[in-house]
């Protein structure tokens, strides 16, 4: 089984995924880390040197590779992964995956992302809190139709990592 965690950047996919994988004794994969190891460049370097289109093509290739692999895994996607190409269909049509949308509000995302802007190519240029909120709101509006196709939606606001992990585990039994 592959448990696929999706949602906007900063919603906690990697943190929750690591904890979930420990509890279930599954392997943990972060798609961005996987891409970086395969490409030998950071996501930021790929965006800067080869562009977003190149990145999205590689992202789709590696997502397919993981979804076709053997073994139990928790996979944390990049925030945009389900929204490009036919990635959401790959996830939903996989007979061995269950997908979870980790849904966070804009204020929660701002709080989670405010100290990580430099590490995130898509938001590194945003300066004011208003600009940040407007950007996140627009992106969430565009991406929500993809995220909402997940098998399950888990609200993450005001919940600890262990509470979210428990909600996911309960959906699997």
In the annotated binding site, the residues are: 10-15, 32, 56, 79, 120, 143
Give the residue numbers of the binding site for Mg(2+). Answer: 14
Residues 6+ apart with CB under 8 A from 31: 59, 62, 63, 66, 75, 76, 77, 78, 81
Give the residue numbers of the binding site for substrate. Answer: 32, 56, 79, 143
Q: What are the φ/ψ torsions at residue 102 (nearest 5 degrees)?
A: -90, 100
102 and 16 in contact (C-beta within 8 Å)? Answer: yes
Residues 6+ apart with CB under 8 A from 153: 100, 101, 103, 147
Spatial CA neighbour of 151 closest among 76, 94, 103, 99: 99
Give the residue numbers of the binding site for ATP. Answer: 10-15, 120
User: DSSP for 30-81?
Assistant: EHHHHHHHHHTS-HHHHHHHHHHHHHHHHHHHHHHHHHTS-S-EEEEPPTTG
Residues 6+ apart with CB under 8 A from 71: 27
């Amino acid at each position: 089984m592959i448990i696929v965690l999706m949602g906007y950047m900063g919603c906690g996919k990697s943190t929750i995924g690591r904890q979930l994988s420990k509890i279930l004794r599954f392997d943990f994969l972060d798609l961005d880390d996987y891409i970086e190891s395969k490409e030998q460049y950071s996501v930021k370097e790929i965006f800067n040197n080869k562009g977003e289109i190149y990145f999205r093509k590689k992202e789709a290739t590696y997502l397919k590779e993981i979804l076709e692999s053997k073994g139990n895994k928790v996979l944390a996607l990049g925030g945009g992964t389900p929204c490009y190409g036919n990635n959401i269909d790959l996830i939903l049509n996989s007979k061995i995956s269950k997908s979870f949308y980790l849904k966070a509000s804009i204020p929660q995302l701002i709080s989670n992302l405010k100290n990580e802007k430099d590490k995130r190519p898509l938001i590194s240029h945003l300066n004011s809190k208003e600009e940040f909120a407007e950007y996140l709101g627009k992106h969430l509006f565009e991406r929500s139709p993809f995220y909402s196709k997940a098998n399950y939606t888990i609200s993450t606001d005001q919940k600890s990592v262990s509470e979210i992990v428990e909600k996911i585990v309960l959906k699997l039994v």
